[in-house]
Amino acid sequence: MKKIALTLLLAAIGFAAGMAQANQDVYYARRATHFQTLPVGKSDIIMLGNSLTDGAEWNELLGNRHVKNRGIIGDIVQGLYERMEPILKGQPKKIFILSGVNDVSHGVDGDSIGRAMEKLITLIQTRSPRTKIYLQSMLPFNNDVREWKYLVGRDQVVVDGNRALEAVARRRGVTWINLYPLFVDDNGHLRAELTNDGLHLVGEGYLIWRDAIKPYAK
């Protein structure tokens, strides 16, 4: 009976994980197609990224109706590249990019994240040369708050990735915004008071992020 119960439990866990992934995939597709239908103009400021970007009301935080959120939960750098067309068509004034931690969770190393980001930035500069680009560092995470199993032991990859991203910003002549020091604790983790799950930000965290980028978001 114990063996049957364990088998059923493992099956339930596997089913729940599969459902969670399916729900995320459905959300991603729904939001991506939504963005394809929304116009972008030359006065717009685009917030581009993953769940961290997705989770904020950026136009309210920055007090600017031209700020548009183009973040999607679960996105990777290549995903940003593949959904740039509706954004680039509008030739926006500015693009703020934050991405990479989902690449880290997929086993990608820091240098590879840098190469993918350089490919994305080159695309933007080629297709929309008047757009100002602001490349933001990845944030730390905190597996003591909640364990993200695909991020276990990968704190250093974020550090290495940020080093690679800073080098990309320098090579491509875009503005580098290093958010990492604002969010990291003495142990190299995301400050516990700024998160409720070890990865995403609560309100106070978004205020810190806002204050860091506000001088550029005009």
* CA nearest neighbour of 214 among 181, 184, 177, 185: 177
Question: How many CA within 13 A on the CB side of residue 193?
Answer: 5
The model's pTM is: 0.89
pLDDT, tens digit (0-9, with 9 covering 90-100), for 160-217: 999 999 999 999 999 999 999 999 999 999 999 999 999 999 999 999 999 999 999 9
Question: Which of the four pLDDT bands, split at 50, 70 and 90, describes residue 4?
Answer: low
pLDDT, tens digit (0-9, with 9 covering 90-100), for 106-151: 999 999 999 999 999 999 999 999 999 999 999 999 999 999 999 9
Q: Which CATH class is domain 40-213?
A: alpha beta
Whole-number pLDDT of residue 23: 52
Give ∠ CA 174-170-83 in degrees, rounded to 5.
45
Calpha distance 105→116 (Å, rounded): 15
Whole-number pLDDT of residue 14: 42
CA distances from 196 to 36, 128, 147, 174, 212 (A): 32, 38, 12, 32, 21
Whole-number pLDDT of residue 13: 34
Q: Which helix or strand (DSSP H or E) is residue 114 part of? A: helix 110-127
Mean pLDDT (the chain, rounded): 91
Whole-number pLDDT of residue 16: 36
Question: How many CA within 13 A on the CB side of residue 200?
Answer: 14
Question: Which of the four pLDDT bands, split at 50, 70 and 90, describes residue 25?
Answer: confident
Calpha distance 126→200 (Å, rounded): 32
CB distance 87 to 46 below 8 Å: yes
Question: Which of the four pLDDT bands, split at 50, 70 and 90, describes residue 10?
Answer: very low
Whole-number pLDDT of residue 211: 98
